[in-house]
Chain A
Amino acid sequence: DARVTQTPRHKVTEMGQEVTMRCQPILGHNTVFWYRQTMMQGLELLAYFRNRAPLDDSGMPKDRFSAEMPDATLATLKIQPSEPRDSAVYFCASGLREGEAFFGQGTRLTVV
């Protein structure tokens, strides 16, 4: 049963540490989104890729966040250095057709 897989599911880290979140999109999907969800802001789009090329990362703080797709089966979101305000659930979603976004289960990040 095809699904978007995210790892890790939970991450607790100290402020200043590097955090890497990984996403395996559904096989064959050519669009990958990274979202961050908090109580205050809801779901915010951080970045998205089409055919592995970054199309829009304007929602991402560039000084500490980076997103890449080293290959079609892996997307990464990195935070360096992490800060307490980065604590949130980070979702990856993938799609093939317009309007499609199948979500992974999310990575719950806590920065202490």
Chain B
Amino acid sequence: EDKVVQSPLSLVVHEGDTVTLNCSYEVTNFRSLLWYKQEKKAPTFLFMLTSSGIEKKSGRLSSILDKKELFSILNITATQTGDSAVYLCAVENSGGSNYKLTFGKGTLLTVNP
């Protein structure tokens, strides 16, 4: 059974801090790892990672994948209150031409002013 474990479960920081969120996984037929941000409603896509060691970056957010050690990290620098959300990690299991996403339980990030 595919498994995604995120840590920490929750995190409280002050504006301006840098945070690192962790995601480890076990999956058959790994194709990709994805990060989502969920505020009050639906998860929204942040990154898709398929190759080890290649950093993906978007503004203050960046992420990297280690396929040998089966984990990924999401970094947020100079955090802002608007970064407060649940951050979800998902892995894509691709069997043949089909694919499905298995999600971790998320990390609740609270950024205080």
A interface residue numbers (CB < 8 A to B):
4, 31, 33, 35, 41-45, 48, 50, 55-56, 91, 98-99, 101-106
Q: Who on chain A is nearest to B99 by CB? A: A98
Query: For the complex, what is the distance from the CA of A101 to the CA of B48, rounded to whole Å?
Result: 11
Please state if A35 and B99 are interface contacts (CB–CB under 8 Å).
no
Please state if B43 and A55 are interface contacts (CB–CB under 8 Å).
no
Please state if A33 and B42 are interface contacts (CB–CB under 8 Å).
no
Any A CB within 8 A of the CB of B68 = no
Contacts of A50 in B (CB 8 A): 97-98
**Which stretch in B53-61, B77-85, B101-109 binds the other chain?**
B101-109
Nearest CB of chain A from residue B6's CB, rounded to whole Å? 9
Please state if B32 and A106 are interface contacts (CB–CB under 8 Å).
no
Nearest CB of chain B from residue A50's CB, rounded to whole Å? 6
> 9 tightest A-B contacts by CB?
A42-B105, A103-B42, A43-B103, A99-B32, A99-B48, A98-B99, A105-B41, A103-B43, A99-B92
Number of A-B contacts (CB under 8 A): 57
B interface residue numbers (CB < 8 A to A):
31-32, 34, 41-45, 48, 50, 88, 90, 92, 94, 97-106
Please state if A33 and B104 are interface contacts (CB–CB under 8 Å).
no
Please state if A35 and B103 are interface contacts (CB–CB under 8 Å).
yes
Query: For the complex, what is the distance from the CA of A44 to the CA of B102, rounded to whole Å?
Result: 7
Known contacts A99-B99, A102-B45, A103-B42; decide if A42 and B92 are in contact (CB<8 Å).
no
Q: Who on chain A is nearest to B91 by CB? A: A99
Query: For the complex, what is the distance from the CA of A104 to the CA of B44, rounded to whole Å?
Result: 10
Please state if A42 and B104 are interface contacts (CB–CB under 8 Å).
yes
Q: Who on chain A is nearest to B104 by CB? A: A42
Nearest CB of chain A from residue B93's CB, rounded to whole Å? 10
Q: Who on chain A is nearest to B88 by CB? A: A43
Please state if A98 and B103 are interface contacts (CB–CB under 8 Å).
no
Please state if A45 and B100 are interface contacts (CB–CB under 8 Å).
yes
Identify the interface centre among A4, A56, A103: most chain B CB within 10 Å of its CB.
A103
